[in-house]
Amino acid sequence: MIHSKRHHTALATGLAMLVVAGCGTLAVWSAPDKKPSAARTPAAQQADQLFWQTLHAGAYDRIPASLTALKAAYLADPNDSVTAAHIGFMHIWRLSERARIPSGPGPEITDDAVLARKYFEEAVRLDPNDARYLGFYASLLMREGSIHKDEKLTRRGYYTMQDAVAAWPEFNLFTSGYGFGSQPYDSPRFTEGLEAQWKNVDVCAGTTVDRVNPDYAPYMKLETKQGPKRACWNSWIAPHNFEGFFLNFGDMLVKSGDPATAVKMYANAKLTPDYAKWPYREALEARIANANANVATFRNPKPSPDTTKMMVQSTYACAGCHQQ
């Protein structure tokens, strides 16, 4: 009899716990979705102006001021996808160009990956149709997974990136491959990243570009400011996107052990008339002159502070495309 009472008590307790858990699940499931703002606030627009001024000037030291303005605007209107994305990008920039920090980055620099991922996650929720946000979000999932040695998070980021590439290959093939450029030269991920760059030029050119003599001159007539292929060219957002793309592509070819093809790829950056105004043209010229020597340099997992670094690890990892 005592055993029977205990059995009924345990059963009743278990059922009560299930009801509570079920109520909690139902409450979360039935909560309203976060909706995008119908209009942007003046504070958000002002924060945007500071964001673009900071980015286009390559003013890494002014990132904190830009983040303060953006986050104030976000707290006033946390349903603004553009503000969320701009906060995320500022955190990516601070993390990516940490080589600029005179004393070297401290361990807290990894917090920028977590914050960037969070804000791009919000941007994706608010504007799931913008594949740029999805690509940055995927990249940051992988970065955060790598920092925390969380293989599930890394894999989620990897497969999210496949969705982003499918949604906008002209933009996200670069996003995908760029991050893998810092992987060891003989790793599967680096090889995949290099292949993504080849696919990127193919999709932009609308044909298979010669992998022995990748002269992009025949495709310059395709330049456009409209549609998905606008990501292949320079724009107001990224005034030197074209030059930065070929600088990175050349770097990855050098690291792969193919400096001869890299020199031809670097030379493509000179095809745009914007090259004369590019702040980093001297870096590209030095790459061409030192391509053979840079094979070993780029493969060194722990380069000295004075060593030439690949674009993805440099002080212009973002500014190389975005600085005016």
Q: What is the pTM of this model?
A: 0.90
Whole-number Å distance between alpha carbons of 200 and 231: 10
Q: How far apart are the first and last CA of the chain?
A: 84
Residue 23 has pLDDT above 80, yes or no: no
pLDDT digits (tens, 9 = 90+) for 179-231: 999 999 999 999 999 999 999 999 999 999 999 999 999 999 999 999 999 99
Of the spans 6-20, 82-96, 305-319, which averages the highest pLDDT?
Answer: 82-96
- For residue 251, give the nearest of 190, 183, 181 by alpha carbon: 181
Which pLDDT score is estimated for 33?
81
Which pLDDT score is estimated for 287?
98
pLDDT digits (tens, 9 = 90+) for 258-299: 999 999 999 999 999 999 999 999 999 999 999 999 999 999
Which pLDDT score is estimated for 202?
98
Out of 3-12, 72-81, 117-126, 128-137, pick the least confident: 3-12
| Confidence grade of residue 41 (pLDDT, cut at 50, 70, 90) | very high
Cβ contact 133:127 at 8 Å: yes
Which pLDDT score is estimated for 177?
96
Which pLDDT score is estimated for 80?
98
| Domains detected in the chain | 40-167 (1.25.40.10), 169-324 (no CATH)
Which pLDDT score is estimated for 57?
98
Which pLDDT score is estimated for 78?
97
- For residue 184, give the nearest of 171, 194, 197 by alpha carbon: 194
Whole-number Å distance between alpha carbons of 110 and 104: 13
Which pLDDT score is estimated for 16?
61
Which pLDDT score is estimated for 12?
61
Using a 10 angstrom Cβ sphere, with 0-12 exposed, 13-18 middle and 19 or more buried, the burial of residue 195 is middle
Hunting for tokens 């022995």 — which residue is that? 212
Cβ contact 41:77 at 8 Å: yes
Residue 13 has pLDDT above 90, yes or no: no
- Of residues 37 and 77, more confidently modeled: 77
Residue 18 has pLDDT above 60, yes or no: no
Whole-number Å distance between alpha carbons of 174 and 275: 20
Q: Cα dist. 11→14, 15, 19, 22, 300 in Å? A: 5, 6, 12, 16, 63
Which pLDDT score is estimated for 8?
63
Residue 47 has pLDDT above 60, yes or no: yes
As a whole number, mean pLDDT of residues 108-126 equals: 98
Which pLDDT score is estimated for 24?
72
- How many other CB atoms sit within 10 Å of the CB of residue 36? 14
Which pLDDT score is estimated for 173?
98
